[in-house]
Amino acid sequence: MIGESTVQKPDPQHIGIIMDGNGRWAKQRGHSRPRGHKEGAKATRTIIDACQDLGIRYLTLYAFSAENWNRPNLEVRALMELLELFLARETKTLVKRRVRLHAIGRIDELPTSARKALEKAIEATKEFDDWHLTLALNYSSRNEVLDAAKAFAQAVARGEISPDTTDWGDFSKHLDTAELPDPDLIIRTSGETRISNFLLMQSAYAEFYFTETLWPDFDKEQLEKALSCYRNRERRYGKTGEQLATHSSTAQSNPLQPSA
Ligand code: FPP
């Protein structure tokens, strides 16, 4: 049948997750919001392991947005403490599992102790290349693009690059994600269907999966459900279904992706 491919579609290489619903999970149980985040951190550990078990090399987690500073002070402090605790506990496991940790966002604006814990964990895992975990912290896609544009303009002023010959591949080297491939699949939990300033540029050709499940309840089975849904998608990158059917081996690889 035209448009039907018999080629096994590959799993995503890179998944980005908007981990939403910790607050509602806590509220439903009469707990405080920080308790919800603590349960959310447990789900985070489960999903990091599950991604590796399922062969997904890149996982990017939206752990704290630039807009999250607007939350009550107590909650912001609890989230920063949780981040430090998470790094203190998980770095050993990341090293054991040979997972390289990255961070995107304005990291220099994090509280000093959280920033130091993060830098220490990044340093401890920097030799690894097979598996990549990226934490988006104090992250805003718009800020990222703004910072990239400034860096790009400075490079032009120094005469290092010419705007006339610049393509997306050249410009994207100034994004925080320069070392990462674009995400193939973006998951958001908790029933919200927004992208909330997460990887706006990088997700240009990503598939989206939204689930009602609250983040603390998201587990390996839920992840497998998202993967199974992803496998049923046809990624066309502007081509027609018929074109993909005749060149089915290229159907799932992103021709627009600059080399990471
Ligand atoms: C959104 O849920 C979640 C966050 C703002 C924080 C995400 C943090 C974690 C999952 C735990 C910590 C993770 C690491 C890596 C240390 P929400 O609070 O907005 O939920 P709600 O919409 O139900 O209120």
* Residue 74 CB burial class (10 angstroms; 0-12, 13-18, ≥19): exposed
Q: From the CA of 189, how far away is ligand 1's center (Å)?
A: 10
Taken in order 215, 210, 180, 156, is the CA torsion positive or negative? negative
The 3-state secondary structure of 60-87 reads EEEEEEHHHHHCCHHHHHHHHHHHHHHH
Q: Check residues 142 and 3 and name the one with the higher pLDDT.
A: 142
What pairs with residue 58 in β-bridges?
14, 132
Does ligand 1 lie within 6 Å of residue 82's CB atom? yes
Residue 235 has pLDDT above 70, yes or no: yes
**What is the per-residue pLDDT for 212?**
98
Q: From the CA of 64, how far away is ligand 1's center (Å)?
A: 7
* Ligand 1 atom closest to the CA of 79, numbered from 1: 12
Tokens representing residue 199 in the block:
């990887």
Tokens representing residue 17 in the block:
């997750």
**What is the per-residue pLDDT for 116?**
98
- What is the distance between the alpha carbons of residues 38 and 217, in angstroms, rounded to a whole number? 12
- What is the distance between the alpha carbons of residues 83 and 136, in angstroms, rounded to a whole number? 12
Judged by phi (left if over 0) then psi (alpha if -120 to 50, else beta), residue 211 lies in beta
Does ligand 1 lie within 6 Å of residue 20's CB atom? yes
pLDDT confidence band for 5 (50 / 70 / 90) = very low
- CA-proximal residue: ligand 1, atom 1 (nearest): 20
3 state DSSP class of 53: helix
- What is the distance between the alpha carbons of residues 80 and 87, in angstroms, rounded to a whole number? 11
Least confident of 2-11, 41-50, 124-133, 235-244: 2-11
Does ligand 1 lie within 6 Å of residue 171's CB atom? no
Q: From the CA of 115, how far away is ligand 1's center (Å)?
A: 19
Name the nearest CA neighbour of 133 among 118, 148, 116. Answer: 118
Ordered structural domains, the chain, with CATH: 12-140+182-232 (3.40.1180.10)
pLDDT confidence band for 234 (50 / 70 / 90) = confident
Distance of CA 25 to the CA centre of its chain: 22
With tokens 């309840």, the residue in question is 217
Residue 259 has pLDDT above 80, yes or no: no
* Residue 40 CB burial class (10 angstroms; 0-12, 13-18, ≥19): buried
pLDDT digits (tens, 9 = 90+) for 87-121: 999 999 999 999 999 999 999 999 999 999 999 99
Q: Which helix (H) or strand (E) holds 229?
A: helix 220-231
Residue 255 has pLDDT above 60, yes or no: no
Of 17, 18, 20, 192, the residue with max ligand 1 atoms within 8 A of its CB, to mutate for a pocket test, comes to: 20
pLDDT confidence band for 248 (50 / 70 / 90) = low
Does ligand 1 lie within 6 Å of residue 90's CB atom? no
Residue 2 has pLDDT above 90, yes or no: no
Q: Which helix (H) or strand (E) holds 94?
A: helix 73-96
pTM (2 d.p.):
0.92
- Across the chain, mean pLDDT equals 93
Give yes or no for a contact between 42 and 85, defined as CB atoms under 8 angstroms apart. no
* Ligand 1 atom closest to the CA of 36, numbered from 1: 18
Does ligand 1 lie within 6 Å of residue 59's CB atom? no
pLDDT digits (tens, 9 = 90+) for 121-174: 999 999 999 999 999 999 999 999 999 999 999 999 999 999 999 999 999 999
**What is the per-residue pLDDT for 119?**
98
With tokens 């908007």, the residue in question is 18
